[in-house]
Amino acid sequence: MHRTRLLLVLVASFALLFAACGEDPAPEYSDENREAFLASCTNLDEDDLIQTRLCQCVYEEAESSLDIERFLSIEEEMRDDPEAPLPEEIVELLAQCIIEEADL
């Protein structure tokens, strides 16, 4: 998964969160957030089952292990410095998903 694609995924996800939440209670992960993440993460021009499964896994792992505030913070960090390495939490989630999907 390319850093640019992941950045786009996170930006789209957070845009949906902010648009949906407004002045409401603290943001939460939502179905709309998930759909935006998966749409941005997967290559719509190709039917790549492995990439789709990895994107689903990364989102599910983030949802279960990162609070939404940290997820939003990561997005902000990546937006502020697109050339910076991926945050360790995202690298760990992606590595875990690769291991799970490869049944290692």
Count: domains in the chain: 1
pLDDT digits (tens, 9 = 90+) for 3-33: 666 655 555 555 555 555 555 667 888 887 7
Mean pLDDT to the nearest integer, 74-102: 84
Range of the domain at 91: 3-102
- Chain-centroid distance of CA 29 in Å reads 11
pLDDT digits (tens, 9 = 90+) for 29-78: 888 777 877 776 776 666 688 888 888 998 899 999 999 888 778 777 87
Tokens of 91: 């690298």
Instruction: Classify residue 53 as exposed, middle or buried by CB count within 10 Å of its CB (0-12, 13-18, 19+).
Output: middle
State pTM to two decimals.
0.66
